[in-house]
Amino acid sequence: MGKTNQTYDVIILGGGAGGMFAAIVAAKKGKKVLVLEKSNKVGKKILMSGGGRCNFTNQFTAPKNFLSKNSHFCKSALSQYTAEDFINMVQSHDIDYETRKHGQLFCVNSAKDIVEMLVNECESYRVKILTHASTSTIDYLEGKKVYKLNTNIETKKDSYSLELSSSSLIVATGALSVPTLGGSGFGYDIAKQFKLEVTELQAGLVPFMFSDSMKDFCASLSGVSHEVDVTCNEKTFSEDILFTHRGLSGPVILQISNYWRLGDSVKINLLPQKIASDFIKEIKINSPKQLLKSILAPLMPRALVTELEILLWNDLRSKPIGEWSNIQIEKIGNLLNNWTLKPAATEGYRTAEVTLGGVNTDFVSSKTMEVKHQKGLYFIGEVLDVTGHLGGFNFQWAWASAYVAGNDV
3-state secondary structure of 151: strand
Q: Are residues 97 and 13 in the same domain?
A: yes
Phi-psi region of 69 (alpha: psi -120 to 50; beta: other; left: phi over 0): alpha
Handedness of CA 360, 361, 362, 365 (dihedral sign): positive
Q: Are residues 313 and 404 in the same domain?
A: no
pTM of this structure: 0.95
Is residue 248 a contact partner of residue 226, using CB atoms and an 8 Å limit?
no
Separation between Cα atoms, residue 175 and residue 183, nearest integer Å: 5
Q: Are residues 153 and 215 in the same domain?
A: no
pLDDT for 294: 97
Is residue 14 a contact partner of residue 173, using CB atoms and an 8 Å limit?
yes
Q: Are residues 323 and 372 in the same domain?
A: no
Tell which of 319, 346, 373 closes a domain.
346
pLDDT for 79: 98
Q: What range defines the domain where residue 307 resides?
A: 208-346
Separation between Cα atoms, residue 349 and residue 177, nearest integer Å: 4
pLDDT for 2: 55
pLDDT for 96: 98
Which amino acid does the sequence have at 299?
A: L
Separation between Cα atoms, residue 333 and residue 247, nearest integer Å: 23
Q: Is 129 exposed, middle or buried (0-12, 13-18, 19+ CB in 10 A)?
A: buried
Q: Are residues 289 and 198 in the same domain?
A: no
Instruction: Summarize pLDDT for 226-273 with one digit per residue, the tens.
Output: 999 999 999 999 999 999 999 999 999 999 999 999 999 999 999 999
Q: Is beta strand 247-249 parallel, antiparallel or unpaired with respect to 208-209?
A: antiparallel
pLDDT for 3: 72
Tell which of 346, 371, 391 closes a domain.
346
- Provide the domain count of the chain: 2
Phi-psi region of 201 (alpha: psi -120 to 50; beta: other; left: phi over 0): beta
Is residue 33 a contact partner of residue 8, using CB atoms and an 8 Å limit?
yes
Q: Are residues 255 and 167 in the same domain?
A: no
**For residues 375-400, b (16+ Cβ closer than 10 Å) or e, as one string?**
ebbbbbbbbbbbbbbbbbbbbbbbbb
Is residue 408 a contact partner of residue 387, using CB atoms and an 8 Å limit?
no
Tell which of 309, 329, 346 closes a domain.
346
**Residues in the chain with pLDDT values less than 70:** 1-2
Q: Are residues 340 and 358 in the same domain?
A: no
Q: What is the Rg, in whole angstroms, of the alpha carbon atoms belonging to the chain?
A: 25
DSSP for 8-59? EEEEEE--SHHHHHHHHHHHHTT--EEEE-SSSSS-HHHHHGGGGT-EEEET
**For residues 69-86, b (16+ Cβ closer than 10 Å) or e, as one string?**
eeeebbebbbeebbbeeb
Q: Are residues 296 and 334 in the same domain?
A: yes
* CATH number of the domain that residue 20 is part of: 3.50.50.60
* CATH number of the domain that residue 255 is part of: 2.40.30.10
Q: Are residues 32 and 165 in the same domain?
A: yes
